[in-house]
Amino acid sequence: MCGIIGYVTGALDASGESAVHKLLYGLEQLRSRGYDSAGIAVQEHGALYRVRTTGDVQSLVPGLEVNGFMQSRCGIAHTRWATHGGRTVENAHPHSDKDERSMLVHNGVVDNYLALKKELEAGGYEFASQTDTESIILLIRDVYEKSGKKNLFQATKEALKRVEGTFAIALIHADYPDTIIAARRGSPLVIGVGNGEQYVASEAYAFAKYTQTVVYLDDNDVALIRPNEHVIESIEHSRRVIREQRTLQLATYNVELGAYPKHTLREIHRQPQAIVDAIRGRYVREDGRAHLGGLHSSSDALYEAERVYLVGAGTAGHAAEVGQWIFDRFAPSKDVQTYTPDEFLDRSLKLLPGRDVVFVISQSGETADTLKTLGEAQSRGVLALGIVNAVESSIARATNAGVYLRIGPEIGVASTGAFTAQLAVLLLTALYIGRRHDLHRDIGIAAIEALERVPERIDWVLRLEEEIRALAYKYATFNGCFFLGRGYNKPLAKEGALKLLELSYVQAQPLSLKEMKHGFIARVSKEFPAIVLAPQDVYYKDALNNIQELVSRECPVLALVTEGDRDVRDMVSDVIEIPALIAGEDQLFNIFPEAVAMQLFAYYTAEARGCDIDKPRHLAKSVTVG
C-alpha cells in the first residue's frame, strides 16, 4: 500500500547525497506497493517545504530542483494509495498544518477521523483535503499549542492516544531541526541506523542500500529520531522502551527489467528459476520427505495437531484453497480448512490450543487482515506459522516459525511468481507433515520427482507465449467472461479470473463447472466467452459436458487442455495446451503450467487493452489497511 521513507543526517556525506536523494531512492524502492500520488517535505533554513504530485515519483524532481531543496539534511516522503479522498495533489502526502510549520506522512486508516474532524473544525481548524490523515497532523498541532509548545514529542504521544485505527507516521516540524518523530500502531515501521544518519521507513528495502542495521518499532511505539540517536517511548505509558538492533537478512536480487517491457512479464518468465529457488535444499528425494528447517521447532506440534487452517487473502487465499487439495492428497490424516482472514476471525472461537495449527500465507508479510488472523490465533494459544516471501516482514517476525518463498521482491503489483512458489511450498509442507504420519514413501518420492520437473513444464508453457498473446488479443474485445474449473481447478479458475480482472479490468466470473447450470448460464452469449480448465484428469468428462452446453449456446470457449487433446480442440473456438503428465504423475501437478498460462493470457489481454500492467489502477502490492 502506501510507502513511507524519512531521513535525517547531521552533515552530507562524501557522496554528496542529500535527504532528497535518499528519499527519492527510497520511494523508488517502495514503488512495488502501488501508488497514485507522491510527495516529499524537507527542512530548510528554519522552515518546511514540500512538493507533491499525482504523477510518478520522478515527477517530483523538477519542483525540488527549482526550489533549491537538493541539499537538505532532513525530510520525509510518501507514496499514497487512496483510501479517503480521490487522486489529487491536495490529498497527496505529506500533509501540513495551516501555516506549514509541521508536516506528516501516514499509512493506515483513522477510524474516528470524522469525530476528530468535527471537533477540530469546531475549534477553528480548516481542512485542506479529504483525507483522514489530516486529522492527525491538526490534532498534534492542537495538543502542541495548548501545551504551550513545550514538547512536540510529548504532544505527539498525547494526540495519538486519541487516534483510533491503524497508523504509521513520520513527522517533521520547523521548530525541531534535524529531527523526525515516528510512531506506529498496526502498520509496519522500521528505523535504519547509520553512521551519523538515521532512516525510518515502512519497509527496510527503502534504505537497505545504505545501512543493514535496523530497529523495528512495535505497536504503540513513538520514536524521536536524530542523526546520531533515536529514543523510543510507549504511547500508552510514556516510558522509554528498548528495541533490539538487528542486522537485515535481505538477499540481493536483480530487479532490473532487462529485455522485458514490464516487471510483471519478467516475473512471469522468472518462475522456473523461482520454483528452483523455493524448493532447493528442502527435500530428500530418496526418502520422499521434505526438509523444512523453518518448521523443525514446530514438528511435534504439527504431528500432533488435528486441524490445520490455511489462511490468506487474494492470490494468497487462492493458493490456500489449492493447498487444501494438496494437503488432502499428501497429508490426508489432517483435517484441513481454508479461510479468508475475515472468515477465520468470525470462526476463531472454535480454535483449540494443542489441537489446531494456523498457517498464514502472504507474499508481502504485511497484509493487515492476515496479521489480525495471526494475532487472534496467538492470543488463543494456537501455534501460528507463516508462509511469506519477505524475510523482514511483520508476519515473518511475529509467527512462531514458518517457510520463506525465497523468490525475491516482486515489482509488478499483481502477484505472479509468488503464487506458484506458494503452491510449491505448500506441497513441501504437506509432504513434511504427511511423511511423518502414514504417507507412503513411494508417493512422497513421486511427488518430489514431479516437483523437480515443474520448472521444465513452466518453460514448456512459456514457449507458447506468442500463441497465447494472439489469443489474448482476440478475446480482449470482450468486457467479461466466465472462468470454469472443478476440484483443484476451481481455486485456479478463481486465480485466473483475479489476474484477468487485476491486469485488464475485464469482469471475470469464476465458477465450478457444476455451478454453471444454477442460474449463471443465463449470462452465456456470443458476447460473454468462457475460459475452461479442462486437463485430462478425473473431472475431464464433466468439462466435456459443460463445454458442449456452452458451445450449443454459441458461447466462445477458450479451453486449457492437455497437449494433443483433439476431442476438446474439435469442440471449442480456441485452446491453450499444457504439457501432459508422465505416467503415474499426480494430476495436481497440472496447477503449475495452468497458472502460468493464465498469467500470460491476463498479461497480454491487459496489453491489448492499453492498461498500466505493472501498476493496475486502485491496487496496492501490500494491503496494510484492514
Q: What is the CA radius of gyration of the chain?
A: 26
Mode of pairing for the β-strands spanning 356-362 and 401-404: unpaired
- Cα separations in angstroms, 475 against 463, 468, 496, 558, 603: 20, 11, 14, 9, 12
In DSSP terms, 106 is beta-bridged to 169
Q: Is the dihedral of CA 379, 384, 389, 392 positive or negative?
A: positive
* Residue 2 annotated as catalytic: yes
Taking phi over 0 as left and psi of -120 to 50 as alpha, with beta for the rest, 573 belongs to: alpha
Q: Which of 2, 74, 481, 555 is catalytic?
A: 2
* Residue 621 annotated as catalytic: yes
Closest Cα to residue 218, out of 193, 199, 235?
235
Say how far apart CA 260 and CA 607 lie, in whole Å: 13
Closest Cα to residue 323, out of 341, 337, 343, 303?
337
In DSSP terms, 169 is beta-bridged to 106, 183
| H helix count then E strand count, the chain | 19, 26
Q: Residue 599: phi, psi to the nearest 5?
A: -65, -45
* C-alpha cell of residue 542: 464433466
Closest Cα to residue 198, out of 220, 175, 217?
217
Evaluate whether 477 touches 461 at the Cβ level (below 8 Å): no
User: How would you class 195 by CB atoms within 10 Å of its CB: exposed for 0-12, middle for 13-18, buried for 19 or more?
Assistant: exposed
Size of the chain, expressed as the number of residues it contains: 626
Q: Which of 22, 372, 615, 621 is catalytic?
A: 621
Q: Where are the beta strands (DSSP E) in 291-423?
A: 307-311, 335-339, 356-362, 383-388, 401-404
Residue 133 has a CB neighbour count (10 Å cut-off) of 29
Say how far apart CA 340 and CA 274 lie, in whole Å: 26
Taking phi over 0 as left and psi of -120 to 50 as alpha, with beta for the rest, 455 belongs to: alpha
Cα end-to-end distance, the chain, whole Å: 11
Q: Residue 580: phi, psi to the nearest 5?
A: -70, 150
Work out the angle at residue 565's Cα, subtended by the Cα atoms of residues 564 and 571, and round it to the nearest 5 degrees. Answer: 135
Q: In the 8-state DSSP scheme, what is residue 85?
A: S
Say how far apart CA 517 and CA 555 lie, in whole Å: 14
Q: Where are the beta strands (DSSP E) in 463-598?
A: 480-485, 507-512, 530-534, 557-562, 574-578
Active site residues: 2, 621
